[in-house]
Amino acid sequence: VLAFRAAISLVAKAAPHALTSEFGSLVRACRKRARLTQAELADLSGLGVRTIRELELGRTMRPHRDTAGLLADALGIRGAAREAFERLATGKPPATLGGLPLPAQLPAGTPDFTGRVAEVAALRTLLTSGRSGPVVVTITGAPGIGKTALAIHVARQVRPSFADIQLFADLGASSSVPTATREILAGFLRAFGVDTGAIPEHWRERAALYRSFVAGSKVLVVLDDAIDEAHVRPLLPGGEGCATLVTSRAALACLEGSRVLRLLPPAHDEAVRLLAAFAGSRRVAAEPAAATAIVERCGHLPLALRAAGARLAARPHWLLGRLALLLLDETRRLDELAIGDLEVRATLDSSYKSLSESAQRALVLLASRGQSDVSAENAASLIDLPVLEAERVLDRLVDAWLLEVRQSGEAAELRYRLPELVRVYCRDLWSRQ
Ligand SMILES: Nc1ncnc2c1ncn2[C@@H]1O[C@H](COP(=O)(O)OP(=O)(O)OP(=O)(O)O)[C@@H](O)[C@H]1O
Ligand SMILES: [Mg+2]
């Protein structure tokens, strides 16, 4: 098994760059690893020493397929690695690894992706700046703000800079069952052609094998919806020229060397453009006041705008004003913002349920207060905790993007406010208590 892994790893390292002339280097590396001289390899394979020497020197550009087969036999290269080895020998582009394509796992982008011009430019620069050492960038932001859409959009744009391998994994932090890092590692290894039976048990060994696959290649890794730093750390490729784009509702502030992009709700005009992209620009242009009301009642949240837009697209005979009116009723608003698998309430649920009991209680009490923002002292008395303790709870809510904080006035007093749909969600909980 060890030899098998070593051979796969060798081919994997060579494959992304391998041109025909590099087949010779691969033969040489495999021969050295097997501790054979050229003469011994000649004996074992039944080929002439001269044939092997010419190959290793890159003078024979395209060895016969039988020659590659005899060499693979003699070197003990089997299975997936053997197929890759033989493919390299024939000079075919190294599009596959052991019959499998080299991992190019980026999902399709959002066809109607709109706006986020500054964020896209910043991320492109960070990912392709050519800084020495691996690059790690985290996109963090509220549930449904557009982290995944932005990450995939940018990853597809910078793909030519990471032509060797692109890996993608949904870590599922906000689903009911997040995927463990060791499972993600197993998935990546399978994508490299490692048989399920050859995947090591321990995650550290999995991570080591994964790193040997990606070493020396320009790899882009997209890790969507991570819980925390520990969830992603073993998945970061270490080589220069590699980049990782992580999305998470948490800021992952302790991820070594990571740059963080905080994704905020789009401003009014951009939010209207999103609604136009989803519902049709003519309809939005025909009813600007209703469009503004919808955008505001959706709290500028792209997920909510997507749901509102999808409802309008499904009912071409509706006026926008009708939906704006339906959204006015706060007790029904979240029900109106659900269509197909787009569910604003379920998205907020997953964030709310990840909070401690005291944070949940504080959130609901803050929502009972209505739309106005509050100072830390007011919040503390509302949630009935000493100020210092209250501030800790408020910080946790801010970290989870369920509470907004800003400085106000000359004394730079902190004021807290619930995002529009979080307020509506918590009012619902409060009225049911
Ligand atoms: N810039 C955009 N252009 C078009 N659609 C967008 C944009 N941003 C977000 N969306 C849409 O909004 C919805 C929510 O976006 P997305 O799933 O990326 O949010 P998220 O921040 O990853 O949420 P979560 O925290 O639940 O993972 C999706 O339907 C997505 O297509
Ligand atoms: Mg997401």
In tens, the pLDDT along 99-110 reads 567 888 999 999
Atom of ligand 1 nearest to the CA of 342: 29
The Cα–Cα gap between 126 and 121 comes to 9
Q: How confident is the model at residue 41 (pLDDT cuts 50, 70, 90)?
A: very high
The Cα–Cα gap between 255 and 36 comes to 44
pLDDT at 13 over 70: no
pLDDT of residue 32: 82
The Cα–Cα gap between 280 and 379 comes to 42
Ligand of minimum distance to the alpha carbon of 151: 1
pLDDT of residue 430: 82
CA atoms within 13 A on the CB side of 83: 13
The Cα–Cα gap between 377 and 394 comes to 11
CA of 344 to the centre of ligand 2 (A): 13
Looking only at the bridges linking them, the beta strands covering 413-417 and 374-375 are antiparallel
Which of 112, 140, 148, 272 gets mutated to test ligand 1 (max ligand atoms within 8 A of its CB)? 148
pLDDT at 37 over 70: yes
pLDDT at 141 over 80: yes
Is 193 a pocket residue for ligand 1 (Cβ < 6 Å)?
no
Which of 110, 120, 246 gets mutated to test ligand 1 (max ligand atoms within 8 A of its CB)? 110
Is 115 a pocket residue for ligand 1 (Cβ < 6 Å)?
yes
Q: Whose CA is nearest to atom 9 of ligand 1?
A: 146
Give the residue, 196 or 278, on which the prediction is more confident. 278
Give the residue, 66 or 26, on which the prediction is more confident. 66
In which region does residue 69 sit, left (phi positive, over 0), alpha (psi from -120 to 50) or beta (all else)?
alpha
- How many residues comprise the chain? 433
pLDDT at 59 over 70: yes
Ligand of minimum distance to the alpha carbon of 306: 1
Atom of ligand 1 nearest to the CA of 141: 21
The Cα–Cα gap between 45 and 68 comes to 10
Is 116 a pocket residue for ligand 1 (Cβ < 6 Å)?
yes
pLDDT at 17 over 50: no
Q: Which residue has the tokens 């992209």?
A: 277
Is 144 a pocket residue for ligand 1 (Cβ < 6 Å)?
yes
Judge whether 120 and 154 are in contact, CB under 8 Å: yes
Mean pLDDT across 269-288: 97
Mean pLDDT across 43-71: 87
Is 140 a pocket residue for ligand 1 (Cβ < 6 Å)?
no
177-191: per-residue pLDDT in tens?
999 999 999 999 998
Closest CA to 171 of 265, 264, 250, 116: 250
Q: Whose CA is nearest to atom 28 of ligand 1?
A: 303
CA atoms within 13 A on the CB side of 341: 0
Closest CA to 157 of 127, 116, 177, 179: 127
Q: How confident is the model at residue 157 (pLDDT cuts 50, 70, 90)?
A: very high
Cβ neighbours of residue 418 closer than 8 Å, sequence gap 6 or more: 363, 366, 367, 402, 403, 404, 426
Query: What angle is formed at CA 293 by the lines to CA 326 and CA 278, rounded to 5 degrees?
Result: 85
Which of 145, 350, 422 gets mutated to test ligand 1 (max ligand atoms within 8 A of its CB)? 145
pLDDT of residue 274: 98
pLDDT at 220 over 80: yes
Q: Which residue has the tokens 């801010």?
A: 398
Cα(first)–Cα(last) distance of the chain, in Å?
Answer: 60
Query: What angle is formed at CA 272 by the lines to CA 266 and CA 274, rounded to 5 degrees?
Result: 70
CA of 139 to the centre of ligand 2 (A): 10
pLDDT of residue 8: 54
Is 334 a pocket residue for ligand 1 (Cβ < 6 Å)?
no
Residue 73 corresponds to which amino acid?
D
pLDDT of residue 11: 56
Q: How confident is the model at residue 97 (pLDDT cuts 50, 70, 90)?
A: low
pLDDT at 18 over 50: no
Q: How confident is the model at residue 298 (pLDDT cuts 50, 70, 90)?
A: very high
385-401: per-residue pLDDT in tens?
898 999 999 999 999 99
In DSSP terms, 245 is beta-bridged to: 137, 222
Q: How confident is the model at residue 95 (pLDDT cuts 50, 70, 90)?
A: very low
The Cα–Cα gap between 218 and 291 comes to 45
DSSP H stretches of helix in 220-332: 229-232, 268-279, 281-286, 288-297, 302-314, 320-328
Is 174 a pocket residue for ligand 1 (Cβ < 6 Å)?
yes
Mean pLDDT across 239-264: 91
**Mean per-residue pLDDT over the chain, rounded:** 88
pLDDT at 422 over 80: yes
Per DSSP, the three-state class of 40 is helix
Q: Which residue has the tokens 């394979």?
A: 45
Phi then psi for residue 414, to 5 deg, are -85, 130
Mean pLDDT across 63-90: 80
pLDDT of residue 22: 64
Is 318 a pocket residue for ligand 1 (Cβ < 6 Å)?
no
pLDDT at 92 over 70: no
Is 110 a pocket residue for ligand 1 (Cβ < 6 Å)?
yes
The Cα–Cα gap between 366 and 382 comes to 7
What is the percent of the chain where pLDDT is above 70?
A: 90
Q: How confident is the model at residue 9 (pLDDT cuts 50, 70, 90)?
A: low
299-340: per-residue pLDDT in tens?
999 999 999 999 999 999 999 999 999 999 999 999 999 998
Is 217 a pocket residue for ligand 1 (Cβ < 6 Å)?
no
Q: Which residue has the tokens 């499904």?
A: 314
Q: Which residue has the tokens 């503390």?
A: 380
pLDDT at 72 over 60: yes
Task: Measure CA 371 to chain center.
Answer: 34
